[in-house]
A = this chain, B = another copy of it.
Amino acid sequence: MSNEELMLAAIDAAIENVHKGGGPFGAVIAKGGEIISVGVNRVTPNNDPTAHAEVCAIRTACLKLGTFNLSGCEIFTSCEPCPMCLGAIYWARLDKIYYGCNKIDAAVAGFDDSFIYKEFELEKAHRSKKMVELLPVDAMRAFDVWRKNETRVEY
């Protein structure tokens, strides 16, 4: 399939999802022009705020390919990824992102992506979500145990 056909598949998934009670977002993960997975926004029907289209597509693709590393794959998403999904795309090592609408379009449609992007640009102390450091020395113990564990799987 061409890049345009893959994007249209993501858009069609988004539209179909609205009719099924989900949000207006769809994403396709492809490798060499073949669809590996399709994800849609199921936040409200599934009571899962992390169930954005891109995250769902990544989870399904990883399950299907039996790996946590999707390098060699690309993602086609009907809307520019929010910070959560962009982070997920980095962790999944996807090669490239194709997006349809942008975060401004999403804001006009009533979704908070732009607000969250703006929060990310602020220093911790100036964000609306308060972040407090607590027991940092104790917390380092987890990394100590990790470094000493010779069977650890790094990624």
Distance to closest chain B CB from A127 (angstroms): 9
A30 within 8 A of B: no
* Count, chain A residues at interface, CB 8 A: 91
Please give, as numbers and ranges, the residues of chain B lying within 8 Å of A145 by CB-CB distance.
15, 18-19, 24
Oligomer: number of copies: 2
Residues on the B chain within 8 Å of A67, using CB: 47
With A21-B151, A152-B18 already in contact, the answer to whether A88 and B132 are too (CB < 8 A) is no
Residues of B close to A138: CB separation below 8 A:
7-8, 11, 100
Interchain nearest-CB distance for A142 vs B (Å): 4
A78 beta carbon closer than 8 Å to chain B: yes
